[in-house]
């Protein structure tokens, strides 16, 4: 039987909306041809893509498995429970909530759980490597709450834990965040746990950047030290754009209530399904190899850049991320990032600790290895990349677009040898 009403015509995207379809093809080609060196980006698998583009996007599921406000949850409850069980097994936690829409709302749910307006939070300052949602002033986390910020030492580029302890004892925050967006070194969770214990604060480990490294066993885990963990799922964990909150049993109910109904409505079930898939992938032995290679690649890239006279914050890296102070190279971060993009390498300009310049045109450049490692690149390719990065920055200083084009051709060749996963 055919419908009596005009339905949404069941045409493909390219038939129905050629303009948008062409844009998608263009972006796919960009992702194939250029090399993403942004440390928070990655390529998801085809399996994750499939789950993201599934029929689960049609379903409303306010509530949690077994306690929903809508009918028809026979499958959704199983999907969400599977994601939760996989998160618990992979990270070794007692409780997981897979509903936060992204990392920032996940963090806001933590504030909603533990703080009242004007209570005190302590986190790492954004220009020092922290995240907006750790109490930075342009975020509501810095204006609705009383925020105290710590940083890194100017001489070492690393966190001074004595300074963090002194500040914490003086300011007595209720929440203490560790983790960030531009921290090239291992985060010392035991020391943070000790400081939190001394001032009776709740320690939150925001592992958004390093979740995949923790799952892969190449960065220490905060589990057992921080009662609350927050993570995005789309960075080193290589899943869909989304987030998870994990905790001890003690805080499970309160956290769940803060996410729904405290902050959110219906969960994005297609994302939940894709999170389940990425957690399954991250539990395979190959993922350990991937995580180890991400770190090896970053270390090789860092060594090669140091050998070429680049000034790296903290002198190198322990993880997937490298923060470059370009001051001695006589070029600003934005100009360098734009030149690298022209040359086929996509990075981002970034403030460096104690940056005398403004965030919109800072002194630094942030690069990382998660995405190029997903393309199968190893140490040999990192040596090539270091040479091409150096060449592109030199070309930018000389305003040589011709040289940038030559480098872009080399990158295109390299990209062709290492196809982007997930893009058929």
Among the options 28, 32, 50, 60, which is catalytic?
A: 60
User: How far is it, in rounded angstroms, from Cα 109 to Cα 254?
Assistant: 10
Contact positions with ligand PLP (CB under 6 A) in 15-54:
40
161 is catalytic: no
Structure tokens at 260: 């729904």
DSSP string, 295-351: HHHHHHHHHHHHHTT-EEGGGS-SSSEEEEE-GGGT--HHHHHHHHHHTTEE-EEE-
Q: Which stretch binds ligand PLP (CB under 6 A): 58-66, 118-126, 177-185, 325-333?
A: 177-185
Kindly tell me which of 63 and 127 has the beta carbon lying closer to ligand PLP. 127
206 is a site residue for ligand PLP (CB under 6 A): yes
Q: What is the smallest separation between the CB atom of 37 and ligand PLP, expressed in angstroms?
A: 16
Give the contacts of 62 (CB within 8 A, at least 6 positions apart).
68, 69, 70, 260, 261, 265, 266, 267
104 is a site residue for ligand PLP (CB under 6 A): yes
16 is catalytic: no
Q: How far is CA 199 from the centre of its chain?
A: 29
The burial of 81, by beta-carbon neighbours within 10 Å (0-12 exposed, 13-18 middle, 19 or more buried), is given as middle
180 is a site residue for ligand PLP (CB under 6 A): yes
Q: Which stretch binds ligand PLP (CB under 6 A): 55-63, 99-107, 212-220, 289-297?
A: 99-107
Kindly tell me which of 157 and 344 has the beta carbon lying closer to ligand PLP. 157
Among the options 146, 153, 165, 241, which is catalytic?
A: 241
241 is catalytic: yes
Kindly tell me which of 39 and 344 has the beta carbon lying closer to ligand PLP. 39
Which of left, alpha, beta for 217 (phi over 0: left; psi -120 to 50: alpha)? Answer: left
102 is a site residue for ligand PLP (CB under 6 A): yes
299 is a site residue for ligand PLP (CB under 6 A): no
Q: How many residues sit in the footprint of ligand PLP (CB under 6 A)?
A: 14
Structure tokens at 397: 């200083």
- What is the enclosing helix (H) or strand (E) of 389? helix 379-397
Structure tokens at 398: 């000389």
- In angstroms, the Cα distances linking 236 to 60, 240, 321, 342, 351 are 29, 11, 11, 25, 22
Kindly provide the b/e burial profile for residues 367-405, where b requires at least 16 CB atoms within 10 angstroms of the residue's own CB: bbbbbbbbbebeeebbeebbebbbbbbbbbeeebeebbe
User: How far is it, in rounded angstroms, from Cα 413 to Cα 33?
Assistant: 9
314 is a site residue for ligand PLP (CB under 6 A): no
Q: Which stretch binds ligand PLP (CB under 6 A): 63-71, 121-129, 179-187, 257-265?
A: 179-187
Kindly tell me which of 149 and 181 has the beta carbon lying closer to ligand PLP. 181
**Which of 34, 131, 174, 238: binder of ligand PLP (CB under 6 A)?**
131
User: Looking at residue 249, what DSSP letter applies?
Assistant: G
User: How far is it, in rounded angstroms, from Cα 144 to Cα 164?
Assistant: 22
**Which of 39, 63, 103, 267: binder of ligand PLP (CB under 6 A)?**
103
Q: Which stretch binds ligand PLP (CB under 6 A): 4-12, 96-104, 156-164, 317-325?
A: 96-104
Kindly tell me which of 40 and 317 has the beta carbon lying closer to ligand PLP. 40
Among the options 235, 238, 329, 375, which is catalytic?
A: 235
- Where do the H-state alpha helices sit in 57-137? 74-91, 103-114
**Which of 113, 133, 149, 236: binder of ligand PLP (CB under 6 A)?**
133
Q: Are 397 and 335 in contact (CB under 8 A)?
A: no
Q: Which stretch binds ligand PLP (CB under 6 A): 137-145, 202-210, 324-332, 374-382?
A: 202-210
62 is catalytic: yes
- What is the enclosing helix (H) or strand (E) of 177? strand 175-178
Structure tokens at 85: 């069980």
**Which of 31, 99, 141, 232: binder of ligand PLP (CB under 6 A)?**
232
397 is catalytic: no
Among the options 50, 62, 119, 171, which is catalytic?
A: 62
Supply the residues annotated as catalytic: 60, 62, 206, 232, 235, 241
Binding residues for ligand PLP, rule: CB under 6 A, are: 40, 102-104, 107, 131, 133, 179-181, 206, 208-209, 232
């Amino acid at each position: 039987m055919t419908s009596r009403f005009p339905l949404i015509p069941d045409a493909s995207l390219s038939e129905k909306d050629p303009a948008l379809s062409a844009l998608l093809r263009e972006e796919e080609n960009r992702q194939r041809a250029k090399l993403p060196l942004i440390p928070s980006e990655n390529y998801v698998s085809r399996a994750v893509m499939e789950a993201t583009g599934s029929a689960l996007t049609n379903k409303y599921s306010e509530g949690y498995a077994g306690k929903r406000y809508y009918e028809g949850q026979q499958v959704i409850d199983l999907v969400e429970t599977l994601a939760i069980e996989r998160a618990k097994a992979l990270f070794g936690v007692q409780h997981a909530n897979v509903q936060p829409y992204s990392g920032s709302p996940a963090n806001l749910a933590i504030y909603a759980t533990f703080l009242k307006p004007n209570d005190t939070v302590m986190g790492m300052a954004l220009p020092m490597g922290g995240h907006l949602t750790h109490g930075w002033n342009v975020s509501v986390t810095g204006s609705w709450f009383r925020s105290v910020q710590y940083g890194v030492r100017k001489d070492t580029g690393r966190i001074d834990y004595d300074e963090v302890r002194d500040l914490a004892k003086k300011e007595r925050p209720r929440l203490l965040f560790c983790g960030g967006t531009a921290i090239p070194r291992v985060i010392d969770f035991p020391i943070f746990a000790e400081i939190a214990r001394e001032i009776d604060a709740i320690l939150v480990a925001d592992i958004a950047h390093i979740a995949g490294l923790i799952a892969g066993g190449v960065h220490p885990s905060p589990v057992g030290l921080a009662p609350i963990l927050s993570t995005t799922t789309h960075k080193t964990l290589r899943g869909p754009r989304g987030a998870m909150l994990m905790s001890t049993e003690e805080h499970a109910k309160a956290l769940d209530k803060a996410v729904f109904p405290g902050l959110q409505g219906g969960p994005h079930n297609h994302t939940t399904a894709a999170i389940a898939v990425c957690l399954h992938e991250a539990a395979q032995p190959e993922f350990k190899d991937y995580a180890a290679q991400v770190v090896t690649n970053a270390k090789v890239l860092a060594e090669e850049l140091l050998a070429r006279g680049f000034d790296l914050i903290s002198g190198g890296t322990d993880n997937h991320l490298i923060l470059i102070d370009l001051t001695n190279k006589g070029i600003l971060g934005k100009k360098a990032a734009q030149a690298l993009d022209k040359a086929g390498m996509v990075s981002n300009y970034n403030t460096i600790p104690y940056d005398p310049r403004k965030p919109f045109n800072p002194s630094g450049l942030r690069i990382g290895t998660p995405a190029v490692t997903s393309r199968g690149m190893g140490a040999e390719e990192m040596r090539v990349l270091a040479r091409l990065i150096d060449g592109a920055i030199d070309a930018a200083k000389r305003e040589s677009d011709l040289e940038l084009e030559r480098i872009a051709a080399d990158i295109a060749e390299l990209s062709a040898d290492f196809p982007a996963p997930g893009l058929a």
